[in-house]
Structure 1
Amino acid sequence: MRDLFLIILIVISCITFSLYGAERKVLLIGIDGLRSDVAFKANTPNLKYLANNGYGTYNSWHQDITISGPSWSSILCGVYHDKHGVLDNTFNGACYKEYPMINTLGKWINPNLKFGMYMEWDKLAYQCKQLQWDELIQGKLGRTGRTQREGTQWLKQTDLDFCFIYLGAADCIGHISGFSLNNPFYVHAVERIDKAIGSFIEAINSRPNYENEDWLILLTTDHGGYLFSHGGLSVSERQLVWIAYSDRIKKVKVQTVDCGNMNDACNPFTSKDYRSCPVQVDIVATALDHLLYSENEDLYSCSNCNIEGRSWLNEMGLSNNRTNDTYIALNGSGLRGRK
């Protein structure tokens, strides 16, 4: 019995060493104009795999302007429009120097981190080109097949620490023919995007050094849609998908309540200290908490950061506490168990 106990201790020690020697990386998948109910009800096996085996919800809530410019700014900066300054898709008034994107925030704490994106939307690509991302690949808006091919190859080979892939076809089709579960063109666009997600997952899984890497996959959207547009406060525009997945993650379907909107006096805004679910501005904090690990305390003490989001690593069972991580490692199958 004593020998068995020693063997178990050795195994746990090896797993713990492996986890903390692993290279931490993040993939953010951003789907423009994805209605949450369509993501849930359509034929989306890859998205559902991440949701069912990860941490997240189909019922996150938009707390700000349901337009792409301000929404992606919130997702990438970790603050709302009253700070990042973006009100629409012109990006006029952007305050990215005062409230920078994740790449600048991360490099303030660890200058060796590298950030990149595959971006279909030219307007957001133009903004990001001015902001010193380490790599920016310009795709073509709505060309999911091209993004799938080029994004998959990119993920297989890149040495970046943070990769962001943007897919815009759902929003394009929604504006043309309607954001609706009853619109076969919109549903098809979402299902085609899901196939791309599957390729991205397989690309990560096939990386030569995958066994020595610790990937966190984050997936969200900028807004939903109503009829042929968005920008309002309806449920179908504000209800969002927010999913996190890792080999070590604790499977949790988050129970949520509407956390309000800063532009709706009838539905007061809920701050990060009182929210029951992850929201858009939490992407930055969660991603950097994972990447920075030993320096994660600096993320909140850094006077330059000013982020309004919070990290959900603890709730995911991905706390930077060694005991929690060892438990998850011994009890999760992760991407390696995916068929």
Structure 2
Amino acid sequence: MKKSKLIALFVLLCVFGTHTHARKAKRVVLIALDGISVEGFQKAQTPCLDALLAQGARSLDTRVVMPSVTLPNWTSHLTGSGPEQHGVFNNDWLLNKSVYPLTEKDAKGYYPSVFKVLKEQLPTIKTAFYYNWINLFYPYNEAYFDEVSYLEKDAYVPNYDKAFQFLSDHRKQPTLVFLYSVHTDHAGHNHTWMSPPYIRSIEEADAEIGKFIEKMKKDDLYKDTHFLFLSDHGGINYGHGGTTVNEMIVPWGIVGPGIKKGLTIEEPNNTVNTASIILHLFGAKQPLSWTGEVIRSIFK
């Protein structure tokens, strides 16, 4: 091969990278269930999630950030950083009461989320945030979302319907959807982790996830969608926040174009990696303030 061709090939590799699939992501759906311990996930009958995750890569050894409570960890999932960077140390965090100096902030004082980064680098992307725990949205600047839907009293099924409609309406545009429910966590707090009501709450969510996936398939949205299954912490007895295995280790999975099928992830994984992987799927550049990493072994 001539020297000029070798130089041209080197330039192409530098510009586009060796993982060309990262430029092809059309949509990413984050299926987020609160408070799912590995033990609970394994005990519950989850045929829909099992079938989905069998088509991709799965970890049963993903670590959460400390403290093992809800808001710090979901913020870490969606900002590619731990509390030391994003400043969310507890469930009561509010922007106007935060005194911790963030490593980076936008014009309104928020730490840069995956939604902000994608909106700035991919202006055509559509973003949505569906949730049923009011505090969950507090760390994010609403300017970077096209749709936000909050449901009271642990309701979550209507948000699955809204998320599907959003994905269908924007099928020709890159799309990122965060689809969350807290009812699984509340079942643990009310009845203890691993209790029959807690296990049943996971199984009920699995059934709704199955219906959502089937609608995606019928509407020809499934094949070119990346799905991530996420949780923020486990639990023990009536709570969480400590450092036991059942609190600090959660399941994590990813499915979609370019992802290896049937892979058990061996590398160390953490909630801070989620946003980094999402950016990689869309071919976006990660902020220097983030600490998350891309798990390269999950890609074909």
TM-score normalized by the length of structure 2: 0.80
- Helix, strand or coil: the match of 1:106? helix
Q: CA deviation at 1:138?
A: 1.6
Provide the C-alpha distance between the structure 1 equivalents of 2:265 and 2:122, rounded to a whole number of angstroms: 34
- Conservation of the 8 A alpha-carbon contact between 2:34 and 2:232: yes
Instruction: Summarize the alignment of residues 186-225 of structure 1 with structure 2, pairs less than 5 Å apart.
Output: 186-207=198-219, 210=221, 214-225=224-235
- Conservation of the 8 A alpha-carbon contact between 2:167 and 2:175: no
Q: CA deviation at 1:203?
A: 2.6
Instruction: Summarize the alignment of residues 1-339 of structure 1 with structure 2, pairs less than 5 Å apart.
Output: 24-92=26-94, 93=98, 95=102, 97=106, 99-128=111-140, 130-159=142-171, 161-180=175-194, 183-207=195-219, 210=221, 214-254=224-264, 256=266, 276-292=267-283, 296=284, 299-300=285-286, 304-312=287-295, 314-318=296-300
TM-score normalized by the length of structure 1: 0.72
Amino acid at match of 1:60: T
- Conservation of the 8 A alpha-carbon contact between 2:241 and 2:247: yes
Structure 1 residues 156 and 141, CA gap change in structure 2 (3 angstroms): farther
Q: CA deviation at 1:99?
A: 3.0
Provide the C-alpha distance between the structure 2 equivalents of 1:75 and 1:197, rounded to a whole number of angstroms: 20
Structure 2 gap ranges (5+) = 1-20
Provide the C-alpha distance between the structure 2 equivalents of 1:205 and 1:115, rounded to a whole number of angstroms: 21
- Conservation of the 8 A alpha-carbon contact between 2:93 and 2:138: no
Q: CA deviation at 1:135?
A: 1.4
Provide the C-alpha distance between the structure 2 equivalents of 1:85 and 1:233, rounded to a whole number of angstroms: 20
Amino acid at match of 1:42: A
- Helix, strand or coil: the match of 1:249? coil
Provide the C-alpha distance between the structure 2 equivalents of 1:225 and 1:206, rounded to a whole number of angstroms: 36
Amino acid at match of 1:242: W
Q: CA deviation at 1:187?
A: 0.7
- Conservation of the 8 A alpha-carbon contact between 1:224 and 1:238: yes
Provide the C-alpha distance between the structure 1 equivalents of 2:289 and 2:117, rounded to a whole number of angstroms: 10
- Conservation of the 8 A alpha-carbon contact between 1:61 and 1:240: yes
Structure 1 residues 131 and 86, CA gap change in structure 2 (3 angstroms): farther
**1:126-151 residue CA offsets vs partner (Å, 9 max, x unmatched):** 44364531211222342243344444
- Helix, strand or coil: the match of 2:277? helix
- Conservation of the 8 A alpha-carbon contact between 1:155 and 1:200: no
Deviates more, 1:228-237 or 1:61-70: 61-70
- Conservation of the 8 A alpha-carbon contact between 1:99 and 1:306: no
Provide the C-alpha distance between the structure 1 equivalents of 2:66 and 2:176, rounded to a whole number of angstroms: 25
- Conservation of the 8 A alpha-carbon contact between 1:157 and 1:207: no
Provide the C-alpha distance between the structure 2 equivalents of 1:282 and 1:202, rounded to a whole number of angstroms: 28
- Conservation of the 8 A alpha-carbon contact between 1:254 and 1:277: no
Provide the C-alpha distance between the structure 2 equivalents of 1:114 and 1:148, rounded to a whole number of angstroms: 17
- Helix, strand or coil: the match of 2:61? strand
Deviates more, 1:242-251 or 1:81-90: 242-251
| C-alpha RMSD over aligned residues | 2.5
Provide the C-alpha distance between the structure 2 equivalents of 1:151 and 1:107, rounded to a whole number of angstroms: 19
Provide the C-alpha distance between the structure 2 equivalents of 1:21 and 1:84, rounded to a whole number of angstroms: 27
Partner residue of 1:16? Answer: none
- Helix, strand or coil: the match of 1:315? helix
Amino acid at match of 2:228: L
Q: CA deviation at 1:305?
A: 4.4
Provide the C-alpha distance between the structure 1 equivalents of 2:219 and 2:269, rounded to a whole number of angstroms: 29
Q: CA deviation at 1:214?
A: 2.4
Provide the C-alpha distance between the structure 2 equivalents of 1:23 and 1:75, rounded to a whole number of angstroms: 19
